[in-house]
């Protein structure tokens, strides 16, 4: 085989690019380390309880089994209910939040609006100083009486000053003559906003909408403070209760047969079910997160 | 930014068919203007009201810090307590302890985040032109933890640190060492929490710094390589100096939040383990606990006001410093 020599020669580069190779190795190690915890939990959810007791959590499941998932799905009411609450809160919260924030941001982007400057300061100051947990807590529970009301999971996050200012910056970057032309044609503010500004702003709306949806989906803080009925508990709060309660049950169960309940793997299976949608969505929406991060300053 | 001159052009030459000479111009314009102002105000109103209810009303509520709060009497009906709440807070020694933990842990996390994010951004920059796909994979992997909630992160950490089943203890016993009861040994937690915080948050900063690196004018690099500068030299003499302003601004903004701890990190990841409080109890967890388990509204309000006030001063100060360097990057 005369051609044998050729590939060997081609495979020997003129000069190995060591720095680049080192960079690749370091980055690859980092990438693996960053994903590893997810793999560990995933593997645990497919392990048998016995294997976890013997070998602990490991990256490859010992004795692969879907038992934990079947166990969870065997009595799905609680997790389905939690999913329902989370989906409701995320969808209603995100839509309402985008609507009220972009309307306010639009008014702050209208150069002719007399209240523009004072209202912009009103929004900004809310970002700089907040009364903290205690006054909000007393106000929401004692005066608004929102404890164990679904609205308490939505209302406090509806308006984020940061997002309002971000949307305003985007609206300010839209071509002014299009809006002026609309007004000359007799379109009112509402029509200009809904028919011209909003359709032109899908990139900004998508970015802010996804970040808002992420905040709602991932929230356990409002639930921890204001929800103590389990049928109103969103997914993240359910996860919190599971990690604090089951463990308690397990640590007291050395003597009785509670140990037969697959605590470890079931717990991890529920965690996987909770993060599944987020991980799936991550690959589609990553560029919006990136855009949200790299978006310019807030000044006009 | 589009050229603002476009406005005047349109205003100066309106299409002839739109000019309506019969209508009394001034009155209709004023009316139109009034109507437009009213519409704009109503459009902004829902958000303004929500901000009022959930941001401004609680600001008034900071008077709770000076009250002996009784639920039955309400916020304003409760008796004034003067500075009693603050006295109690500061004389117990808790204030110093939680302030130290908050500032110390935040400083650790800020420093670690800066170091790791800069390193990763520079490395990504080195590989991105030849292997854009791989660079994208690395970046995605590093950014992934950003989308997890702190509760989910606490599951991840537990899988590593669980006393009986955790990966770390199994590895320790595997090499003949004693397992460690992680959730009761507070000495390890400044390190553990820093690692977890960097793991979760650094992807954000990597993207921010990488975007800044990509924005650097490529002519600098062309000129440098023509002068014979290697990659290492280009990194040291061009990339890093060009990033310094951004680094300083980011540091100032981070430091301005040094009095606010990430509640989820300190509450969920530690699983609120009492034994870890010596190193992990921060102002935010302290306020939460005083309010929910002790029910001490006055003192937790005092701790919250102390935090909000110092935090506010720091933000204003940092903004003033940022403004002096680069007014574009200042918040206000």
Q: What is the pLDDT of residue B189?
A: 97
Q: Contact A133/B15, CB-based, under 8 Å?
A: no
Domain-wise residue ranges, chain A: 2-70, 76-251
* A136 in contact with chain B, both atoms CB, cutoff 8 A: yes
- The CATH class given to the A76-251 domain equals mainly alpha
User: Which of A89-98, A163-172, A289-298 is predicted least confidently?
Assistant: A289-298
Q: What is the pLDDT of residue A261?
A: 61
Q: Average the pLDDT over A102-124 and give the result.
A: 94
Q: What angle in degrees, to the nearest 10, is found between the helix axes of B94-127 and B189-214?
A: 40
Of B11, B156, B301, the CB nearest to A134: B301
Between residues A292 and B11, the one the model is more confident about: A292
Q: What is the pLDDT of residue A14?
A: 58
* A231 in contact with chain B, both atoms CB, cutoff 8 A: no
The reply to whether B114 falls in a domain is yes
Those of residues 100-159 in B touching chain A at CB distance below 8 A are 120, 123-124, 126-127, 130-131, 134-135, 137-138, 140-152, 154-159
**What does DSSP assign to residue B237?**
I
- In our burial notation (b when 16+ CB lie closer than 10 A, e otherwise), range B231-259 reads beebbeebbeeebeebeebbebebbbebb
Assign A18 a pLDDT band (cuts: 50, 70, 90): confident
The reply to whether B39 falls in a domain is no
Those of residues 220-239 in B touching chain A at CB distance below 8 A are 231-232
The answer to whether B232 and A19 are in contact (CB under 8 A) is: yes
Rounded Cα distance between B124 and B141, Å, is 12
Q: What is the pLDDT of residue A127?
A: 87
**Could you tell me the two tokens for B208?**
């921010």
**What does DSSP assign to residue B67?**
E
Q: Contact A294/B207, CB-based, under 8 Å?
A: yes
The reply to whether B282 falls in a domain is yes
For residue B26, pLDDT over 70 is answered with no
Closest by CA position to A209, among listed A174, A277, A158, A247: A158
Assign A133 a pLDDT band (cuts: 50, 70, 90): very high
Burial of B301 (0-12, 13-18, 19+ CB in 10 A): buried
Q: Contact A23/B145, CB-based, under 8 Å?
A: no
The reply to whether B152 falls in a domain is yes
* Model confidence pLDDT, tens digit, residues B86-140: 998 999 888 999 999 999 999 999 999 999 999 999 999 999 988 999 999 999 9
Q: How far is CA B326 from CA A175, B45, B249, in A?
A: 26, 33, 9
Question: Within 13 Å, how many C-alpha atoms sit on residue B263's CB side?
Answer: 14
The reply to whether B56 falls in a domain is no
* Model confidence pLDDT, tens digit, residues B168-205: 999 999 899 999 999 999 999 999 999 999 999 999 89
Give the SS3 label for residue B179: coil
Q: How many CB pairs under 8 A join A and B?
A: 296
* Model confidence pLDDT, tens digit, residues A266-279: 889 989 988 888 88
Question: Which residues of chain B make contact with A35, given a CB cutoff of 8 A?
Answer: 141, 144
Between residues B1 and B28, the one the model is more confident about: B28
Those of residues 63-82 in A touching chain B at CB distance below 8 A are none
CATH number at residue B158: 1.10.3720.10
For residue A295, pLDDT over 70 is answered with no
Q: What is the pLDDT of residue A72?
A: 82
Count: domains in chain B: 1
The whole-angstrom distance between residue A283's C-alpha and the CA centroid of its chain comes to 13
Q: Average the pLDDT over B45-55 and give the result.
A: 97
The answer to whether B193 and B266 are in contact (CB under 8 A) is: yes
Between residues A282 and A146, the one the model is more confident about: A146
* A159 in contact with chain B, both atoms CB, cutoff 8 A: yes
Query: How large a percentage of chain B has pLDDT more than 90?
Result: 67
For residue A3, pLDDT over 50 is answered with no
Of A159, A176, A193, the CB nearest to B7: A176
* Model confidence pLDDT, tens digit, residues A237-252: 999 988 887 544 444 4
The answer to whether A105 and B48 are in contact (CB under 8 A) is: no
* B318: closest chain A residue by CA: A128
* A118 in contact with chain B, both atoms CB, cutoff 8 A: no
* Model confidence pLDDT, tens digit, residues B207-254: 989 999 998 999 999 999 999 998 889 999 999 999 998 898 888 888
The answer to whether A239 and B152 are in contact (CB under 8 A) is: yes
* Model confidence pLDDT, tens digit, residues A57-75: 888 888 888 888 888 888 7
The average confidence (pLDDT) of chain B is 88
Q: What is the pLDDT of residue A64?
A: 87
> What's the predicted TM-score (pTM) here?
0.87
For B161, the domain range is: 84-329
The answer to whether B158 and B166 are in contact (CB under 8 A) is: yes
Closest by CA position to B99, among listed B211, B235, B258: B258
For residue B6, pLDDT over 60 is answered with no
Q: How far is CA B117 from CA A22, A107, B111, B255, B327, in A?
A: 17, 37, 10, 17, 25
Burial of A136 (0-12, 13-18, 19+ CB in 10 A): buried
Question: Which residues of chain A make contact with B127, given a CB cutoff of 8 A?
Answer: 20, 23-24, 27
Q: How far is CA B1 from CA A170, A171, A269, B120, in A?
A: 10, 11, 49, 32
* Model confidence pLDDT, tens digit, residues B90-100: 998 889 999 99
């Amino acid at each position: 085989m005369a051609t044998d020599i050729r590939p060997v020669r081609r495979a020997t580069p003129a000069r190995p690019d060591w720095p680049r190779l080192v960079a690749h190795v370091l980055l690859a190690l980092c990438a693996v380390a960053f994903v590893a915890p997810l793999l560990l939990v995933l593997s645990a959810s497919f392990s048998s309880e016995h294997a976890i007791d013997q070998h602990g959590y490991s990256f490859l499941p010992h004795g692969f089994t879907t038992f934990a998932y079947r166990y969870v799905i065997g009595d799905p009411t609680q997790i389905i209910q939690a999913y329902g609450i989370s989906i409701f809160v995320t969808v209603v919260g995100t839509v309402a939040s985008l609507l009220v924030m972009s309307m306010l941001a639009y008014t702050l982007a209208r150069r002719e609006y007399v209240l523009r400057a004072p209202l912009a300061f009103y929004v900004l100051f809310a970002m700089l100083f907040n009364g903290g947990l205690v006054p909000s807590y007393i106000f929401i529970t004692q005066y608004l009486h929102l404890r164990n009301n679904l609205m308490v999971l939505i209302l406090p996050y509806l308006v984020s000053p940061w997002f309002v200012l971000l949307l305003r910056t985007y609206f300010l970057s839209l071509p002014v003559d299009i809006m002026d032309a609309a007004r000359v044609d007799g379109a009112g503010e509402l029509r200009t906003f809904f028919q011209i500004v909003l359709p032109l702003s899908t990139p900004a709306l998508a970015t802010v909408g996804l970040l808002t949806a992420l905040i709602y989906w991932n929230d356990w803080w409002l639930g921890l403070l204001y929800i103590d009925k389990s049928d109103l508990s969103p997914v993240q709060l359910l996860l919190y209760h599971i990690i604090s309660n089951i463990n308690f049950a397990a640590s007291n169960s050395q003597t009785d047969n509670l140990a037969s309940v697959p605590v470890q793997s079931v717990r991890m299976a529920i965690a996987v079910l909770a993060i599944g949608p987020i991980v799936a969505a991550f690959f589609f929406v990553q560029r919006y997160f990136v855009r949200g991060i790299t978006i310019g300053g807030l000044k006009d | 930014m589009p050229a603002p001159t476009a406005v005047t052009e349109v205003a100066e030459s309106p299409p002839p068919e739109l000019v309506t000479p019969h209508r009394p111009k001034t009155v209709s314009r004023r009316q139109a203007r009034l109507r437009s102002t009213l519409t704009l105000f109503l459009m902004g109103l829902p958000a303004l009201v929500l901000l009022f209810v959930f941001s401004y009303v609680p600001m008034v509520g900071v008077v709770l810090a000076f009250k002996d709060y009784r639920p039955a009497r309400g916020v304003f009906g409760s008796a004034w307590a003067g500075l009693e709440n603050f006295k109690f807070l500061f004389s117990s020694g808790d204030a110093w302890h939680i302030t130290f933990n908050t500032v110390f842990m935040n400083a650790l996390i800020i420093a670690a985040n800066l170091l790791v994010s800069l390193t990763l951004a520079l490395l990504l920059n080195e590989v991105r032109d030849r292997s854009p796909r791989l660079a994208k994979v690395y970046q995605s992997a590093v950014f992934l933890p950003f989308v997890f909630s702190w509760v989910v992160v606490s599951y991840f950490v537990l899988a590593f640190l669980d006393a009986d089943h955790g990966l770390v203890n199994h590895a320790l016993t595997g090499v003949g060492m004693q397992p460690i009861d992680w959730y009761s040994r507070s000495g390890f937690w400044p390190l553990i929490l820093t690692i977890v915080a960097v793991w979760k948050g650094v992807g954000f900063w990597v993207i921010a710094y990488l975007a800044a690196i990509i924005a650097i004018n490529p002519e600098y690099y062309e000129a440098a390589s023509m002068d014979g500068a290697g990659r290492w030299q280009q990194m040291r003499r061009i990339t890093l100096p060009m990033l310094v302003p951004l680094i300083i601004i980011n540091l100032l903004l981070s430091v301005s939040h040094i009095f606010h701890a990430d509640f989820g990190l300190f509450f969920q990841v530690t699983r609120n383990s009492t034994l870890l409080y010596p190193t992990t109890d921060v102002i935010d967890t302290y306020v939460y606990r005083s309010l929910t388990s002790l029910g001490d509204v006055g003192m937790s309000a005092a701790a919250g006001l102390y935090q909000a006030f110092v935090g506010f001063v720091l933000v204003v100060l940092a903004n003033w410093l940022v403004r002096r360097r680069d007014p574009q990057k200042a918040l206000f």
